[in-house]
């Protein structure tokens, strides 16, 4: 922390709160899918709705970050899902959060990356 109380120029209020972010993503997923049954025809719509819903919620926070949201949806049929990512950033201000969500027929993995600007 710098002498002026900031972390790499950001105040404590400007930093990302993982718990708040987790809630925002879960809200976007629940709004897009809810209790709907898995159908291949809705995958593109759901993916777009989750990513855009999350980005709108993040923009409403008015924090000095750029965001990237990815979303993977699969039917719960006993198969596994493996997703990997790597990045290089400033540990104190930048980060990522992966949120797992599921209902009876659908598994969702949404990931948010943020980079301070």
Tell me the average pLDDT across 65-84: 93
In a domain, 108, yes or no: yes
pLDDT confidence band for 6 (50 / 70 / 90)? confident
Instruction: Identify the DSSP state of 75.
Output: E
Give the domain extent around 45. 12-116
User: Could you tell me which residues come within 8 angstroms of residue 97 by beta carbon, excluding any fewer than 6 positions away?
Assistant: 18, 21, 22, 25, 111, 112
Tell me the average pLDDT across 65-85: 93
| pLDDT, averaged across the chain | 93
Q: Residue 57 is part of a domain; what is its CATH number? A: 3.30.1140.40
pLDDT of residue 1: 57
In a domain, 98, yes or no: yes
- Of 15, 17, 30, 3, whose CA–CA distance to 63 is shortest? 15
Domain count, the chain: 1
Measuring CA to CA, how many Å separate 96 from each of 37, 44, 106, 109?
Answer: 29, 23, 23, 13
pLDDT confidence band for 3 (50 / 70 / 90)? low
In a domain, 93, yes or no: yes
Instruction: Identify the sign of the CA torsion 36, 100, 19, 71.
Output: negative
pTM: 0.90
pLDDT digits (tens, 9 = 90+) for 79-110: 888 899 888 888 889 999 999 999 999 999 99
Q: Is the pLDDT of residue 5 over 70?
A: no
């Amino acid at each position: 922390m710098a002498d002026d109380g900031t972390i790499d120029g950001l105040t404590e209020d400007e930093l990302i709160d993982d718990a708040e972010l987790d809630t925002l993503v879960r809200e976007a997923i629940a709004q897009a899918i809810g209790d709907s049954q898995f159908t291949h025809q809705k995958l593109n719509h759901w993916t777009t709705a989750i990513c855009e819903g999350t980005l709108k919620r993040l923009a409403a926070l008015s924090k000095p970050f750029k965001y990237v949201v990815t979303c993977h949806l699969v039917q719960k049929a006993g198969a596994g899902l493996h997703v990997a990512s790597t990045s290089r950033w400033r540990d104190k201000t930048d980060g990522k959060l992966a949120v797992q969500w599921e209902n009876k027929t659908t598994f969702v993995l949404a990931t948010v990356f943020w980079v301070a600007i």
